[in-house]
Structure 1
Amino acid sequence: MSTATIAEDALKYTHVAMLLHWTIALLILANIALGLAASLLPTSVLPDTSVRFVIDTHKSIGITVLGLAIVRVLWRLTHRPPSLPGVFAGWEKTAAHVAHIALYVLIFALPLSGWAHDSAWNAAATHPMHLFGLVPWPRMGFLMHLDPALKEQLHTQLGTLHTWFGYALYVVLALHILGALKHQWIDRHSVLGRMLP
């Protein structure tokens, strides 16, 4: 292996980090589409099973993202990511770090708030949750056992919180993508190559 190849590899994320990054990104995009579809589906026309399939798939992907996010954080703690190119201005490095922290927070906040929202659903006890229709998944017990009136109130509030986390993710994700494209195509810094095999 040449010295140039070793130096180039040092500027890249590990293959595991790349796999986790792109898998989580694709699952989040799929879940955005499912979340929007669930809110736009004409429930008066479609059978309940079709609507439930979309919602249950959305929940399953959310829990999967949560699991992968935990793995990703553990991987990052044990594998130092490559430094940002030295040509980045100080404010650009700060903005990139803030955006990454916001993405991590939202990648956890969205599935956790969705899980809590689902757990506070009054019909949760009669509608058990299964990941992708196969693996039984528990609700948050402390929410399941609250008074029905309080659960209904929390269900609404947690749904609103989940929605706002979704809007925040749209903004941060757009800034993350636009920032990467700006550095790649306008500034001519090879940043996309850091996350590509």
Structure 2
Amino acid sequence: MKANVTTEGFRRYSGVAIFLHWLIAALLIVNVGLALSVDSLPDDWVRPFVNTHKSIGITVLGLAILRVLWRFGHTPPPLPTYYSRWEKVGSHVAHMALYVLIFALPLSGWMHDSAWKDYALHPMRWFDLFYWPPVSVIKDLEPQTKEAMHTLLGNIHTGLGYVLYTVLALHIAGALKHQFLDKEPEFQRILPGRSRS
């Protein structure tokens, strides 16, 4: 175990990156809760919960785009010098997986919804403020193909959700290890506060 780790080689993320990190994380956690609870809800609650789930998903997609655009102009801080080689590789792999998932999940959900045979009866409204368009190339498929796409995309969306749960658990476990077992200033890099970069 490492001891007496100093802040040498330690840098924080920018304020915008920190804000987007925690906002996206909070929305993902809420959406996981909505997805896991919908089957136990009274019938009258299902449609509002599903619509909220869809709205949050589209919001995450928009925020993910903003986060990538921000990252292009604002290089994130390097990993701390006290990370071992395998920890650096693991961190890079986990972050890449999370980036892929925060795009793939909402995109697969949007396509899944666009292939729903009853989409015309229940079009998506973003937080009940305005209509969000379906993916037209999917919505306009012939019914049998569209039904098969709906099933396939639903399975993909669900599978990606379980992958997200796993990667998030590993990401959180890694952060907790550095902070509490290795006594390193891990949380200080990403918690809100005065930024050094």
TM-score scaled to structure 1, two decimals? 0.91
- State how far apart, in whole Å, the 1-side matches of 2:137 and 2:120 are: 13
Alignment of 1:155-170 (within 5 A): 155-170=150-165
Q: Match of 1:152, SS?
A: helix
Which residue number corresponds to residue 4 of structure 2? Answer: none
Out of 185, 190, 197, which is 1:195 matched to? 190
- State how far apart, in whole Å, the 2-side matches of 1:39 and 1:124 are: 20
Post-superposition offset of 1:127: 1.5
Post-superposition offset of 1:189: 1.1
Out of 53, 56, 65, which is 1:61 matched to? 56
Alignment of 1:29-44 (within 5 A): 29-41=29-41
Which residue number corresponds to residue 50 of structure 1? Answer: 45
Q: Compare 118-127 and 164-173 and name the one that shifted more.
A: 118-127
Structure 1 segments (4+ residues) deviating >4 Å: none
Post-superposition offset of 1:84: 1.0
Q: Do structure 1's residue 78 and structure 2's residue 73 form an aligned pair?
A: yes
Q: Do structure 1's residue 172 and structure 2's residue 167 form an aligned pair?
A: yes
Q: Do structure 1's residue 122 and structure 2's residue 113 form an aligned pair?
A: no
Q: Match of 2:120, SS?
A: helix
1:16-67: CA deviations, max 9, x gaps?
00100000000000000001111333xxxx33x4210000000000000000
Post-superposition offset of 1:191: 1.1
Q: Which amino acid aligns with 1:24?
A: I
Post-superposition offset of 1:118: 0.3
TM-score scaled to structure 2, two decimals? 0.91
Which residue number corresponds to residue 94 of structure 1? Answer: 89
Higher RCO structure (Cα 8 Å, ≥6 apart)? 2
1:88-135: CA deviations, max 9, x gaps?
111100100000000000000000000000000001122121100112
Which residue number corresponds to residue 3 of structure 2? Answer: none
Q: Which amino acid aligns with 1:97?
A: H
Q: Give RMSD over aligned pairs.
A: 1.5
Q: Which amino acid aligns with 2:185?
A: S
Q: Which amino acid aligns with 1:155?
A: H
Q: Which amino acid aligns with 2:29?
A: L
Percent identity between matched residues is 56
- State how far apart, in whole Å, the 1-side matches of 2:45 and 2:40 are: 13
- State how far apart, in whole Å, the 2-side matches of 1:71 and 1:40 are: 34
Structure 1 unaligned spans of 5+:
1-6
Which residue number corresponds to residue 4 of structure 1? Answer: none
1:117-172: CA deviations, max 9, x gaps?
00000011221211001121000000111111111111011000000000000000
Post-superposition offset of 1:174: 0.2
Q: Match of 1:184, SS?
A: helix
Q: Match of 1:128, SS?
A: coil
Q: Do structure 1's residue 106 and structure 2's residue 101 form an aligned pair?
A: yes
